Every structure is written in C-alpha cells, then in structure tokens.
C-alpha cells in the first residue's frame, strides 16, 4: 500500500519503513467460507520458504497480484487500540484522552457503536459533527478510527414509537428499552432504520482519510421469537424443503405424530424437540443474522473507499454456537472477535485454540476488537489478570494471527451497566495501574510492526469442525460429561506442543496443505463432506476421526450405515454400538495402552486391510476385547478411527505417531514447561514469539541466532523469560 493510501493520522509512524509485505486474498469457496486451495508444505524442521508461502496463500499475494486495499489497511501493520466513547464525555476531556492514548502507543480507536441516540437524537434529525470533530482530534494524535455502526442499541424514540421492532423472548415477553440488542433481528422495519443511519454515516465518513474501517453492529447474540419471525422461519423452511412431504421425511415426523400438514403449524421456540427442527432453526438463525449483516454491508459498500475494511466483532468468547461463524465471516473483509478471560487467569491452550479457530473463519489473519484490560465486570469473581498477563495475552493473540488488539474499554463510564469493567483510564481521566503495561505493549508493537506485518501462521496439521456437528451433539449430548470444547482441547494441546502451529478450520476447507487432520467430533457427515474427506485421504493425507463421527446426515437423522456413515467404505470398518461411560475402561494394543472415559464405541473391521490398533480390556460389559481403534491405508493416505475419548498420555502418543509417520518434526524440540512458541512466516522471514505463561523463569535455546525485535540491534541464541515474559524474534526463512 502506498503512503498516499494511509490514514493521515499514521503517516508520521511509517516513514522509512516497509508497511506491507503482503497478505493473502483467498478466492471464495461458498461452502468453505472462502480461501485459496493450498498445498502441502515441507517439513517444519526448517523454516518455510517464500515460494512455498506464496503457493499456500499464507500472508502473501499470488505473484503479480496485490492485496485488496481493505486487507492492506487491516493487515498491513500491527494495531493497538481501545474502544473510545467521546459521546459520553464533554469535548473538553477529549484532548487529554487522546494525548494519553498517543503516549501509550495506541494508533486506532473504535467509536460510535453505541451512539445512535447522539447521532440521531430524534427521528430524521442527525448530528454527525461531534463525531467528525472526534475523528479530527484523533488524527492530530496519529490515531486512526474504526466506526462501529450504532445498531446494537437503538434509541428510545425508535423503540417507543415503533414497538413492533422489539425482540420477543422465548417466554413471549417483548424486550424493553434500557439495555441493548432489544430489537428483533428479522424485523424489516428495524433493518430499514439501520440501513438509513448506516448509509448516512457512510456518506459522511466513507472517504474520510482517517477512518480505516467499519464494525457492523456489536456481538450478534439474541434471536427473537415474535410472530413475524416465526412466519419468516416457516417461509424459510418452505424455500429450503419445497414440500411438506420432504420436510416430514427429513425430520421423521412420523415419530410421536409430529407430521405437519401446513407450514404455519411448525413451531418456533427454544424448547428441546425434534433434532431436525432444532438444526434447521440454527441454520435459520445463521441465515437471519447474515441477512441482517448484509443489509448494512449493502449500505456501506457504495459509499466507502476501497481501503476501508468491513468487519464485525463476534462475541461469545469465540466458541459460542448461536450461529455459524464461518457463514457470517464470509461476507466480511476480515474476521474479528472479543477476547475475554472472565474469572481466573489466561488458559494458554484454550485461548490459543480459540484464536486459531477465529483465524480459521476466513483462513487469514484477524483482529481482536475487544480485549480484556485487566478485569471484567460480569464474571462470578471479576478478578484482575496478573501483572504482565495482559501483555502476554496480547502477544499470544499476535502469535496466533491477530494483527490488531483493541482493549475494551478506554475509560470508565460514570454510569451504565458496565461501570466496574476494567479500563486503562479511570473516571477522572487519569491512568490506572494497567496503563503502564499497555504503554509497554504499545512500544513493543511499534518496534516489531515492520517485521511482523505481512506474516501469518503456517500449519501442517489441522483440527476440523462444523457447526452442524457441534449443534447435533449439543442437542443430544447423551453424557453430561461430554464437552465438545474440552474434547477439542484434548487433541489441540498435544498437537500444539508437538508442532507449535495448529489450524482449526471448517471441515469443508481445502485440506491438501495438511499432512494430518484431526476431526474430534464430526457427528454430521453428509455425502459431499464424505467425498471431500475421502479425496484428502486418497491424495496422501492422514485423517483421524474421533468418536461420534458420521452418526448423522445433513438433516440430523441417524445414518443407516452406522458410524462413520458415508465413510464406512473408506475406513473398512464401522461402529457396532456406542456407550456413555460412567467409569474408566482400559485399552491396549499396538498403538499403546491407556484408559478410555466418558464415551466408548465397540468397533468392527470389515476388510482385511483394516487393522485393530487398540482393544478394550477383557471382562468389561459390552466392550470386553472389542476393537477400540481402527486404521486403514486408503489410496496414498491413511484413515484412523478412534472409538473413545482416551487419556492425555495415550492421546499424545497416538498423535505423535501420526505426526512422525507424516514427517512432521519441530526444529525447536521440547520446550520448557509453561513456554509457548508461535511462528509467523512471510516475505522471506520467520517471526518467533515465545511466551512464558508460568510464574518461574524459563530459558529457551534457539536452533540458530535470531534478531531480538524487542531489543533492536541485539542478536540472541538463547532467551530467558521471566514470569509472563515475552520474546519476539526474527530470522531469515530458509528454502
């Protein structure tokens, strides 16, 4: 991106530096959420070469192409920011706020997302001048602006005069003014008001030189159960199924005499019921939020400059399953999420896994639009993170693919529901203790930005997910101890330890780049997904399926082939029966020994090529001596089915064997306890980020000399990290 395309606020910050080394522009693939088809990288025993990165589409444009202007803006440097609410404060306080931000190294603020009553104080009466003044004042402090569309919190004139737009809860009661998200997300009238205010904002600020992007709404969360939304659900079902006969067959409505004879009979509620109906409702919620989002995208696009990106901050701690994140991210330039710990302290594996999951929404770098500034105000115990922990959390986000981290929020609100939430500045306008840590982060990001810009994580292993599978299992867990995120983490931890880079992607994503893919709970496997996975194995990949795989079809019906459904022929085996466990059972075989808990399946090999690699111990009711894991070569690859949730040691052993068989090794070897290594590649260089998440110092030896980006001019072969210590290193990427 040329300097001419930069926000004026940032021109003094980039003189003499390379702003953008390049970033990916994957081609869109509708069912996978977009992305270029990647290829398998070489062994990570040496850094990945630049030509390979171009082939993978990892943070580099294809030869002869350039990143889109919007991506160049969002991913072209490291951004540090905060949510700023100038509408809550007299203009006389703005200058001090912005001066403190500039001193802390903050270079971007998010504004406006709750300011509808200030932007349109009465219907048809607009006041954008205060926002323009705030943007101009931020520019004088070299701070760029992301405008949040204010539609998450409608003004009282709208909700009182047009009460038909109010959201109705599952209990039939309409929401009231005084909170947020009190609107019905399907209401055409509410969307009309949204489109009007967003269009006017875009017309005013769409070519403002210091507005770099737009955030649509805020944390899509609450669906509505009003009569109009129910009618739209029924109309959506009619378009989806065509006939009631088709719907009745798909949902097996002969069960309990559920058969429908009119579309208007189909209920919309939050009560557990027919799994097919429940799955369809989740798709409808996704469709409705996506069309809500598209309404605002359509308002923005005609009036904003190509360099301004569009995103939306997805909340729910990243793992929420109200709707399909892959589908909604598809329409955005970049994905963003809100990264909070809540009670307790940073769980590095969990936060790393969710970060990788977010990166997988579009399979490119992302933004953290809200990060926890010490503590929150909504946890059972809203304790503060330890000194240094916010810094470690920020660098962990960057290591997993974030190019921006914005704290929520900048200054304590004098009143409102979130008075107690952590900030960088108190209600008096003076810094709180965490401000010093934020200022250190700001200095470090400025020092490292030129080197880190245009780089991205590159992985040779992936964990596969789909929302259909997540929803189907959550509807019918069959065991209160079966927790899907915990199951994913049981696979993620050893993979992260052994490879230091794991992608978490939609199962429909291109898989050829990965040597090993793991699907912990791919409960729903339709025929098209089965063909996709079979092609991956046939082409030389190693697919590892966890228990409960392939139990359901696309309508949440039990697959008549039994598990793993349409992959039975590929595996050359199937599940005879599944069992929820109330005690641990022992397993042993050529693949090792260990214990199974929570869930176990008795398997059956069907071909001579299908090997039993684990069996349950004898004298166990129903499971005694039955196969617990199967493996079969298929084409140039291999498929493994694990029929139980195994203990950490056995799980690690199974994954380690698979990685070794695929030729995947880490050049760093074993790291000290509590130390996390993250790597980003691009433009002929490797960025290594090391974090000590423990309370005791740790020393890490490097395979070769590297440049210490946080201490310019210093080269190191060994680093010692104190508690919550961080090192950011650079070395050339070898062919």
- Least Cα distance to 309 among 683, 1, 35, 30 occurs for 1
Instruction: Spot the catalytic one: 87, 113, 120, 219.
Output: 219
Rounded Cα distance, 345 and 383, in Å: 9
Backbone angles phi, psi at 718, to 5 degrees: -150, 140
Residue of 120, 223, 370, 437 with catalytic role: 370
Question: What DSSP state is assigned to residue 561?
Answer: T
| Residues composing the chain | 735
HSE (side-chain half, CA atoms, 13 Å) at 586: 7
Residue 103 structure tokens: 């001193």
* CA distances to 135, 534, 593, 701 from 613, in Å: 63, 21, 10, 37
CA distances from 449 to 75, 360, 391 (A): 11, 23, 16
- Residues 424, 434 contacting (CB under 8 angstroms): yes
Q: Considering only CA atoms, which of 207, 192, 94, 188 is closest in space to residue 140?
A: 94
What's the CA gap between 181 and 345, in Å, rounded?
Answer: 29
Unique residue bearing structure tokens 């130390």: 675
Determine contact, residues 40/416, Cβ cutoff 8 Å: no
Q: How far apart are CA 396 and CA 400, in angstroms?
A: 6
Residues 34, 149: Cα–Cα separation, whole Å: 25
3-class secondary structure per residue, 517-531: EEECCCCECCHHHHH
- Residue 274 gets which letter from DSSP? -
- The residue among 166, 47, 20, 24 whose CA lies nearest residue 679 is 47
> What value, to the nearest 5°, has the Cα angle with vertex 466 and ends 460 and 468?
170
Q: Rounded to whole angstroms, how far apart are CA atoms 578 and 251?
A: 23
204: preceding bond cis by omega (within 30 degrees)? no
DSSP three-state, residue 626: coil
Task: Tell me whether the omega of the peptide bond preceding residue 409 falls within 30 degrees of 0, making it cis.
Answer: yes
The verdict on whether 219 is a catalytic residue reads yes
Distances (CA, A) of 10 to 80, 207, 410, 628: 12, 16, 20, 59
R_g over Cα of the chain:
26
Residues 6+ apart with CB under 8 A from 153: 113, 114, 116, 117, 180, 181, 218
Task: Give the single-character DSSP code of 417.
Answer: T
Range list of β-strands (E), 393-488: 402-407, 461-465
Torsion sign, CA atoms 91, 97, 102, 107: negative
DSSP string, 122-170: BTTB---HHHHHHHHHHHHTT-EEEEEPSTTS--HHHHHHTGGGB-B-T
Nearby residues of 301 by Cβ (< 8 Å), 6 or more positions away:
310
Return the closest-CA partner of residue 676 out of 405, 406, 355: 355
Rounded CA-CA distance 358/369 in Å is 12
CB–CB of 137/95 below 8 Å?
A: yes
Q: Give the whole-angstrom CA distance, residue 725 versus residue 708.
A: 14
The catalytic residue positions are 219, 370
């Amino acid at each position: 991106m040329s300097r001419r395309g930069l926000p004026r606020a940032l021109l003094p910050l980039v003189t003499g530096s390379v702003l953008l080394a390049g970033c990916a522009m994957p081609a869109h693939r509708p069912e996978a959420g977009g992305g270029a088809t990647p290829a398998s990288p070489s062994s990570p025993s040496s850094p990945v070469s630049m030509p390979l990165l171009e082939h993978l589409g990892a943070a580099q444009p294809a030869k002869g192409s350039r990143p889109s202007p919007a991506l160049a803006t969002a991913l072209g440097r490291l951004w540090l920011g905060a949510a700023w609410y100038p509408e809550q404060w007299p203009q006389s306080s703005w200058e001090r706020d912005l001066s403190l931000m500039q001193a802390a190294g903050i270079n971007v603020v998010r504004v406006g997302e709750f300011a509808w009553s200030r932007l349109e104080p009465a219907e048809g009466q607009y006041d954008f001048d205060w926002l323009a003044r705030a943007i101009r004042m931020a520019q004088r402090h070299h701070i760029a602006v992301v405008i949040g569309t204010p539609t998450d919190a409608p003004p009282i004139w709208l909700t009182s005069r047009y009460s038909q737009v109010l959201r109705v809860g599952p209990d039939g009661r309409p929401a009231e003014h005084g909170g947020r998200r009190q609107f019905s997300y399907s209401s055409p009238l509410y969307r009309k008001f949204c489109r009007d205010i967003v269009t006017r904002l875009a017309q005013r600020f769409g070519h403002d030189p210091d507005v770099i992007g737009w955030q649509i709404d805020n944390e899509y969360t609450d669906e509505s159960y009003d009569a109009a939304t129910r009618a739209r659900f029924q109309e959506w079902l009619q378009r989806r199924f065509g006939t009631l006969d088709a719907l009745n067959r798909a949902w097996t409505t002969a069960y309990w005499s559920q058969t429908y004879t009119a579309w208007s009979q189909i209920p919309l509620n939050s009560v557990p019921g027919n799994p097919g109906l429940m799955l369809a409702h989740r798709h409808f919620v996704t469709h409705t939020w996506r069309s809500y989002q598209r309404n605002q995208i359509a308002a923005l696009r005609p009036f904003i400059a190509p360099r301004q990106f569009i995103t939306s901050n997805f909340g729910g701690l990243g793992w929420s399953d109200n709707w399909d994140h892959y589908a909604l991210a598809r329409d955005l330039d970049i994905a963003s999420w809100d990264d909070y710990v809540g009670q307790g302290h940073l769980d590095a594996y969990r936060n790393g896994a969710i970060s990788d999951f977010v990166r997988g929404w579009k399979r490119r770098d992302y933004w953290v639009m809200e990060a926890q500034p010490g503590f929150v105000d909504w946890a059972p115990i809203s304790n503060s993170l330890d000194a240094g922990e916010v810094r470690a959390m920020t660098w962990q986000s960057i290591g997993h693919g974030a190019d921006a981290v914005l704290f929520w929020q900048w200054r304590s609100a004098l009143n409102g529901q979130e008075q107690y939430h952590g900030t960088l500045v108190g209600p008096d306008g003076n810094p709180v203790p965490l401000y010093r840590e934020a200022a250190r982060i700001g200095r470090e990001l400025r020092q490292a930005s030129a080197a880190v810009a245009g780089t991205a994580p590159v992985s040779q292993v992936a964990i596969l997910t789909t929302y259909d599978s997540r929803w189907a299992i959550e509807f019918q867990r069959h065991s209160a101890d079966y927790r899907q995120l915990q199951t994913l983490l049981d696979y993620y931890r050893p993979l992260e330890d052994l490879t230091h880079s794991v992608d978490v992607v939609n199962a429909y994503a291109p898989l050829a780049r990965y040597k090993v893919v793991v699907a912990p709970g791919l409960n729903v496997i339709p025929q098209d997904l089965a063909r996709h996975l079979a092609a991956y194995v046939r082409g030389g990949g190693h697919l590892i399926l966890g228990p409960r795989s392939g139990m359901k079809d696309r309508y949440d019906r039990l697959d008549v082939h039994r598990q793993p459904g349409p992959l039975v022929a590929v595996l050359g085996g199937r599940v005879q029966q599944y069992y929820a466990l109330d005690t641990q059972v022992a397993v042993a075989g050529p693949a090792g020994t260990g214990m199974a808990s929570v869930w176990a399946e008795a398997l059956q090999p069907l071909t001579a090529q299908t090997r039993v690699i684990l069996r349950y111990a004898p004298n166990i009711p129903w499971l005694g001596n039955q196969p617990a894991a199967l493996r079969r070569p298929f084409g140039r690859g291999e498929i493994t089915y694990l029929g139980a949730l195994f203990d950490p040691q056995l799980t690690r052993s199974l994954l380690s064997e698979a990685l070794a068989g695929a030729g995947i090794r880490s050049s760093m070897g074993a790291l000290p306890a509590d130390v996390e290594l993250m790597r980003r590649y691009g433009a002929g260089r490797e960025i290594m980020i090391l974090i000590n998440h423990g309370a005791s110092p740790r020393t890490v030896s490097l395979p070769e000399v590297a440049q210490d980006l946080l201490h310019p001019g210093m080269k190191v072969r060994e680093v010692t990290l104190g508690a919550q210590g961080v090192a950011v290193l650079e070395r050339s990427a070898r062919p």
